[in-house]
Amino acid sequence: MQLKMTLRNRKRYQGLRVGKVLCLLTVFLVYLALPRAFAEGDEEEDGPYQGKYLGKLNSYHHQVSGDVYAVNEYTFLIVGFNYDGNGADTFFWAGASNRPGPQGFIVPDEHGKTNILDRYHNKDFTLTLPDRKKMTEIKWLAIYDLNNQNNFGDVYIPEEFEPPIAQSGGTFSKRSHNVSSSSIEILDSKTIRIKDFTYDGLGKRTFFWTGVGAQPSSRGSKMPDERGYLDPIRRYNKETIELELPGDKTIFDIDWISVYDVADNENYGHVLISDGLNVPPSLVKVTPYEFSLPNCRQLHKDMQVSWEVFGPQITFQLSGQVAKTDYMSFGISGSDVSSQMIGADVVVAYIDDIRGYTVDYNITSLAPCVQVLGQNKGVCRDDVVGGLDSFQLNTYSRKDGINTISFRRTLKSSDDGDKEIFLDRSNYVVWAFGQLDSNNEPAFHTYYPKSDIVIDFNTTEPVNDCFSFTKRMEAPVQLWERTRISDPTVRTFNAYLGPSGGLRGYQGLTGHVSSGLAWYINGYMIPELYLKRGLTYTFRVRGGNNPHSPEYYHPLVITDDPQGGYDRLSDAKQSEIRVLAGVEFTRRGRPKAAAAGPLCISRYPSNYDRRLDDHFPTFKKFNRSLVTECSDEAPALLDITPNITWPDTVYYNSFTHGNMGWKIHIIDNYSNLRGGANSNVSRWSWSWWGSLLLVQLLLVLH
């Protein structure tokens, strides 16, 4: 009996020992597996957010492999896709059956085509389901051969899968300065749409501000406004705006967005961002910034300046995400107490097809460089106004759409026209970027600040607030309506000046760069005119008759040159242009304006920001916002009678500035236009005459 009990206890003891060993072994195996499990789970989290991970393609034949993500409810992202291309009749194939088979449909390839698949090697691309089918309506995506009904590889959509979609968020808390909004919408991992956003614009130095933590604080960072500016934000009144997080930052990196005043460290209103949002990945291209100098300041989402002081010299580097034909400008303000373009000393940096350039400019007025009583005034090169080009080019490159140009100058130049760069105090600076004209001169800047920009170039510790450049696919700008005046009864044209209207206006309508002003004819910006040979027409010109003014002296001329600015051109260029009206020549052959009338100009209302021109959907609404001021003097009269020697297309323009006017079509008969060449002005005229004739006919019949 005792022996049986002893044997039973020994077995129980041995069983407990085995149990303990198995338990410890299980724990040990789990311990060994954990790092691998965590590593596999985190593998898809490394790098930029690409959407909701569906899994790796199951590979069966033809070396199919890759990782599959859900971008949104319609789109897959396939990363590192491989396929040897040897299938006979192979397509991307999707369906709702339990497993891939003949019941399904072709998914167009990355080019939107339904061609047989070629070879792929480690390629990244997106696939969009056809006919607005949703990911929740299918169970799998496969690489499938229809001829042999053979599945080469697939990935399955989990049951109750929720693809990434735009998510609604909270509203801006109403704390002060009238900050409010409707619910925000998080469109993707970098883009936030704010509806009905309101702010009174009266803060001191107020920005869109973002960061981490329970509440907004001074430890956040600036967020560019809807136009990419990092200036203090403007007034908003129930506007819908879209903000993009800067650089490589995503919605998963922040806890809140605030309207924050850094001068008083005060939060005017904020909205919290929820954790774990299932939103689509951003399609914005992120390009890391590269600079070799220790200090960097982000001036705009698309432009930054870096610098280093060494002895009596300072080295700058300008980097900008600009077009090939764009310039970047940066320099010392014309005022010691604010950022002011007038009087500024700036560099204009650009790259042509051959090399880079850094050109020293002096700004005496906001106009192209013109001669005023023998002196050059406006935005002029230093060497044109008797100064020296003080900038020495170091390096230049264009890569991934980003121009990078480095150069240096002395802190205190020997040129009296150059501004000194101070190290014992802060410096007010100016910057801009825009298009070059046909002479590689800076045209009116497209982007420029409206607030003071202050930089201390002599800091004890390096400063750097720069971030990566971002680029999204922009929708084409919707241009304002084109106007054609082809009414045969119109023989008089009232010509005066007005603003050129941003990308929707002169620049978009003509494809030319803008000088900032444009001709308005009979109340329309740069209409196309249709004039008949043999008839006499009169232009009543009010473009300014004060030759002392570099900005507002614009005699009207008609030539066969689309650019204009005849007086600015060299003798060789002038000899290539046919002048048809508006220019007389002295005995020495020098051109002289013949149609300089008093100034009549449509101006912006006071405190208006002309960078908002493209917010107007039509020219009519834009024109209604302007204030017209005209002199009481009689206009200058320019009479023309086109004849058989005139080309079919000529141009009205300014004698002094380029790119202000547009086309005149010289025709033989108006009747040929009534079938379709007429536009809003002439159509209105003919419909009015047609209505009048119809009324008269009805009266006769009655």
Per-residue H/E/C for 524-541: EECCEEEEECCCCEEEEE
User: Taking 80 as the threshold, does the pLDDT of residue 672 lie above it?
Assistant: no
Q: Mean of the pLDDT values across residues 426-437?
A: 96
The tens digit of pLDDT for each residue in 614-629 reads 999 999 999 999 999 9
Is the model's pLDDT at 637 over the cut of 60?
Answer: yes
Q: What is the pLDDT of residue 680?
A: 54
If pLDDT is split at 50, 70 and 90, which confidence band does 214 have? Answer: very high
Task: Read off φ and ψ for residue 218, nearest 5 degrees.
Answer: -70, -10
The reported pLDDT for the residue numbered 473 is 80
Average pLDDT over all residues of the chain: 89
CA angle, 477 as apex, 473 and 480 as ends, to 5°?
Answer: 175
pLDDT of residue 502: 92
Q: Exposed/middle/buried for 63, CB within 10 Å: 0-12, 13-18, 19+?
A: middle
Q: Do 163 and 174 meet the contact criterion of CB atoms below 8 Å apart?
A: no
Q: What mean pLDDT comes out for the span 90-99?
A: 96
Closest CA relative to residue 299, chosen from 476, 432, 197, 418: 432
The yes-or-no verdict on residue 9 having pLDDT over 50 is no
Q: Which residue has the higher pLDDT, 567 or 682?
A: 567
The 10 Å Cβ neighbour count of residue 170 is 14
pLDDT-derived band at 681 (thresholds 50, 70, 90) equals low
Lowest model confidence (mean pLDDT) among 258-267, 374-383, 421-430, 460-469: 374-383
pLDDT score, position 442: 93
- Residues above pLDDT 90, as percent of the chain: 79
Residue 144 has pLDDT above 50, yes or no: yes
Q: Which residue has the higher pLDDT, 372 or 387?
A: 387
The C-alpha atoms of residue 228 and residue 3 are separated, in whole angstroms, by 90
pLDDT tens digits for range 230-274:
999 999 999 999 999 999 999 999 999 999 999 999 999 999 999
Contact 434, 338 (CB under 8 A): no
Band (pLDDT 50/70/90 cuts) for residue 27 is very low
What is the β-pairing status of strands 579-581 and 583-585? Answer: unpaired
Give whole-number Cα distances, 206 to 225, 259, 262, 265, in Å.
11, 7, 6, 9
Is the predicted pLDDT of residue 133 greater than 60, yes or no? Answer: yes
Residue 699 has pLDDT above 50, yes or no: no
299 confidence band (pLDDT: 50, 70, 90): very high
Which of 430, 406, 436 lies closest to 326 in space, CA to CA?
Answer: 436
Which residues lie across from 538 on neighbouring strands? 492, 639
Q: What's the pLDDT at 46?
A: 60
Nearest to 514 by CA among 346, 323, 660, 671: 660
pLDDT score at 29: 33
pLDDT score of 587: 84
Average pLDDT of span 482-488 = 95
Judged by average pLDDT, the poorest of 136-145, 316-325, 362-371, 390-399 is 362-371
User: Which ranges constitute the DSSP H helices of 489-577?
Assistant: 506-510, 571-575
> With bands split at pLDDT 50, 70 and 90, how would you rate the model's confidence at 82?
very high
Q: What is the mean pLDDT of residues 169-192?
A: 95
- Rounded Cα distance between 295 and 305, Å, is 8
In a 10 Å sphere around its CB, with 0-12 CB exposed, 13-18 middle and 19+ buried, how is residue 663 labelled?
middle
CA distance 361 to 57: 59
Residue 522 and residue 486: Cα distance in Å, rounded?
A: 12
Contacts of residue 493, defined as CB under 8 A and 6 or more positions apart, other chains included, come to: 485, 521, 522, 529, 537, 538, 539, 540
Asked if residue 685 has pLDDT above 80, the reply is no
